[in-house]
Amino acid sequence: MTETPAPSLPAAAAQRLSRWLTHLGVSPAAFDDTVGWLTPLWRVHHLQARIVDKRAETPTAVTLVLQVGGAFPLPRAGQHLVVGVTLQGVRHRRAYSPRVLPQRPGCIAITVQRQRGGRVSTHLHDAARVGDVLDVEAPAGDFVLPQPVPPAVLLIAGGSGITPFMAMLGELRRRAPATQVTLLYFARSERDRILARELTELSQRWTSFTYLPLEGSAPPPDTPPPPRTEAAVTAPRPHIAPRRLTTALLQERAPHWARTLAFCCGPATLMAAARGIWAEAGIARQLRLEAFTAPEPSGRPDTRHHVTLRRPSQPVGTQDFHAPAHLTLLAAGEQAGLQLPHGCRQGICHQCSCRLQRGSVQDLLSGQRVDGQGQAIRLCVSAALSDLALESLN
């Protein structure tokens, strides 16, 4: 189902008008509210986007085509976009990888993988409709191609980690088609491989692009079988080899991997394997990593640490709670009844950042131990290793 995009107000005109009205005493929020009555895409400060197309990619992944307004800055390939939805009066924010659609000016696409128990992904799969308006934030992140682009690039994706690479592949095809690009794409099975047809067709049209689909673990037992569609029957299917990311696999499929700038995005196990391989080879600086989900803390549920959280901007001042070792600090605080600032729950938006004044935590994205010396940590991707003293930064 698709919707015809509405005309967009040029960004420069909207921003000039907003600044002029600000001098007359009209606040930026009031300006956005006013033009939002005409169309939410004209907002300048509180950005919004309209769903103009929605299509299933796999049984658990859906692509949303979003029309954005003139004030929305185009993303660099590989950056993330924070999408906000309000569910039962609570605003939730999650990060997705947008890609520009050259054939649809003024539109971007995001592909959403359904997460078990995920409020936002479930809403976007089941409830979001063409014509709905979503809150969006300006693209951000440094998981991007360097400039100038190197002569060769290695991309390693797992599951929904393919999404930032779709943007990178589009950028490379348009601006640096001579770049030798190798993509290793791990998925549970062929039916779970997001955008597989597009990747196969791209590899057939672009001689500098080598696409290597690889099967990982078996799909979960409650995953429904895919519907048989004409596209599924006629789509070409390259040979799939059941493999894992190892040095031997890299030597076999991407022999120049140790001399090539590499990007990896996917589940925690894939990221850990890549991190270990590159570190062991002494070339960790040649690997760029991006994760949309952090691994679960591995501590015991019966191990609990006392946490003192100072909140200078809140009337409560200081709050105390206990953090079980098998929960993130954000989940532990929420379990204790605290209303903690947060957004993406993925370690991306930094809304839950706190200063670690005392104690030790594990950063779940890097796996590293962090000892309190005033460093900033993110509650959603940190687990307590001892009693803690924290100070909220938001």
pLDDT at 20 over 70: no
Percent of the chain with pLDDT over 70: 83
Mean pLDDT value across residues 63-84: 92
The answer for residues whose C-beta is within 8 angstroms of residue 90's C-beta and 6 or more apart is none
Q: Name the token pair of 252.
A: 């076999």
pLDDT at 182 over 90: yes
Tell me, yes or no, whether 279 and 164 share the same domain. yes
CA distances from 263 to 19, 160, 287 (A): 41, 14, 6
| CATH code for the domain of 204 | 3.40.50.80
For residue 3, is it within any domain? no
End residue of a domain, out of 136, 167, 196: 136
Tell me, yes or no, whether 183 and 264 share the same domain. yes
What pLDDT was estimated at residue 310?
A: 94
End residue of a domain, out of 265, 290, 315: 290
Q: How many domains does the chain have?
A: 3
Tell me, yes or no, whether 308 and 341 share the same domain. yes
Task: Yes or no: say if 378 and 394 are a contact pair by the CB < 8 Å rule.
Answer: no
- The span from the first CA to the last CA of the chain, in angstroms, equals 40
What pLDDT was estimated at residue 5?
A: 55
Tell me, yes or no, whether 237 and 172 share the same domain. yes
Domain region containing 346: 304-392
End residue of a domain, out of 243, 259, 290: 290
Tell me, yes or no, whether 156 and 279 share the same domain. yes
Tell me, yes or no, whether 218 and 128 share the same domain. no
* DSSP H or E run through 152: strand 152-158
Output the average pLDDT for the chain: 85
Tell me, yes or no, whether 281 and 219 share the same domain. yes
What pLDDT was estimated at residue 141?
A: 87
- Of 106, 102, 73, 88, nearest in space to 6 by CA: 106
CA distances from 314 to 218, 303, 352 (A): 47, 29, 14
**pLDDT digits 0-9 by tens, 105-135:** 999 999 999 988 888 999 999 999 999 999 9
Tell me, yes or no, whether 369 and 343 share the same domain. yes
Tell me, yes or no, whether 212 and 312 share the same domain. no
Task: Yes or no: say if 74 and 13 are a contact pair by the CB < 8 Å rule.
Answer: no
What pLDDT was estimated at residue 21?
A: 57
Tell me, yes or no, whether 195 and 234 share the same domain. yes
